């Protein structure tokens, strides 16, 4: 039976580290870390994410600035707000909650955020820095996954690492981070042939596809580390992951649950990036 990787506990320790450093910054330098979160429209899931980010800011002692804009906001208006936040010294990090409404070009918005304040690490400059291993910010979800793997004590060096999913926000950067830790990395996607066979060779398997319970126990190598990034709904509408937990936990060595695995890490790493941004902007790093 697999050992469960407790994302809530690991994320709590990351947030505690961040809170301690933020308190020290305030006391010694009089600096208060600030994160601006922009949401456009009324998507209920986005609303929940934004509220969670606000709560996390409060918990670690950051100031949060929320901009809730109506659905009909134009691209020009949103760009003007981003530009204003880029210049605002009390704002260290800027996050525009995705997806934005269809009439707004997501890429144009991402590109407008100053790379120094891009705490999601979606700007092409930050993406490029990740490729060459000289990054300031890591994208939050893949960075959270790395912390979870680290928490198992399993050394990535020389391991067969398989990432299923090649999105810009999870799969691709995930593969780069595993490579930087000396993993031998295979990236799989919807056109991959013999997926099961590839998965069976994985010492570390990261699944980010968005399909409920897709990866089953018979696709997992005995003792593997299995990280489930998926946030899906099962046939009863209950939150579940991309991995069929019940069959997978019988084979894996370590496994993340959904909920309580990768999810809490994403916000914790966002707080860490915002703190890093504040320190860099003030010449402290």
Candidates 27-35, 66-74, 120-128, 206-214; binding stretch for ligand NAP (CB under 6 A): 206-214
H or E segment and range at residue 66? strand 63-69
Q: Which of 92, 263, 271, 272 binds ligand NAP (CB under 6 A)?
A: 263
172 given a catalytic annotation: no
Joined together, the tokens standing for residue 20 give 């301690």
Q: Under the criterion CB under 6 A, does residue 121 sit at the interface with ligand NAP?
A: no
Q: Under the criterion CB under 6 A, does residue 262 sit at the interface with ligand NAP?
A: yes
Please answer whether residues 252 and 223 qualify as being in contact, where contact means their C-beta atoms are separated by less than 8 angstroms: yes
Nearest distance, CB of residue 264 and ligand NAP, angstroms: 8
Q: Under the criterion CB under 6 A, does residue 270 sit at the interface with ligand NAP?
A: no
CA distances from 254 to 15, 205, 215, 224 (A): 23, 10, 15, 7
183-202 positions binding ligand NAP, by CB under 6 A? 188-192, 195
CA distances from 232 to 98, 160, 240, 241 (A): 17, 26, 5, 5
212-231 positions binding ligand NAP, by CB under 6 A? 229-231
Q: Number of residues in contact with ligand NAP, rule: CB under 6 A? A: 25
Residue number, 86 or 192, with CB nearest to ligand NAP: 192
Q: Which of 4, 232, 247, 282 binds ligand NAP (CB under 6 A)?
A: 232
Strand-strand pairing, 160-164 and 225-228: unpaired
Residue number, 146 or 169, with CB nearest to ligand NAP: 169
- Who's near 229: CB < 8 A, 6+ residues apart? 141, 145, 165, 170, 206, 207, 208, 241, 242, 262
The catalytic residues are 53, 97, 120
């Amino acid at each position: 039976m697999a050992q469960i990787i407790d994302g809530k506990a690991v994320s709590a320790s990351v947030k505690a580290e961040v809170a301690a450093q933020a308190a020290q910054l305030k006391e010694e330098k009089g600096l208060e870390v600030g994160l601006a979160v922009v949401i456009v429209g009324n998507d209920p899931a986005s609303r929940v994410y934004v509220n969670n980010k606000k709560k996390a800011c409060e918990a670690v002692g950051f100031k949060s600035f929320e901009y809730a804009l109506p659905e009909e906001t134009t691209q020009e208006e949103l760009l003007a707000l981003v530009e204003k936040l880029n210049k605002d010294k009390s704002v260290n990090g800027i996050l525009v909650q995705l997806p934005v409404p269809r009439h707004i070009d997501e890429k144009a918005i991402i590109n407008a955020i100053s790379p120094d304040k891009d705490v999601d690490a979606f700007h092409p400059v930050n993406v490029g820095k990740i490729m060459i291993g000289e990054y300031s910010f890591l994208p939050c979800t893949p960075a959270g996954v790395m912390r979870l793997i680290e928490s198992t004590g399993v050394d990535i060096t020389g391991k067969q690492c398989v990432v299923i999913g090649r999105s810009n926000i999870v799969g691709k950067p995930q593969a780069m981070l595993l490579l930087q830790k000396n993993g031998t990395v295979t990236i799989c996607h919807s056109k991959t042939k013999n997926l099961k066979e590839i998965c069976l060779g994985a010492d570390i398997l990261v699944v980010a596809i968005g399909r409920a319970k897709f990866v089953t126990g018979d696709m997992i190598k005995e003792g593997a580390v299995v990280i489930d990034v998926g946030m899906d709904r099962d046939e009863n509408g209950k939150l579940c992951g991309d991995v069929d937990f019940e069959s997978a936990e019988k084979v894996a060595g370590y496994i993340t649950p959904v909920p309580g695995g990768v999810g809490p890490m994403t916000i914790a790493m966002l707080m860490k990036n915002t703190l890093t941004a504040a320190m860099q902007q003030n010449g402290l790093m």
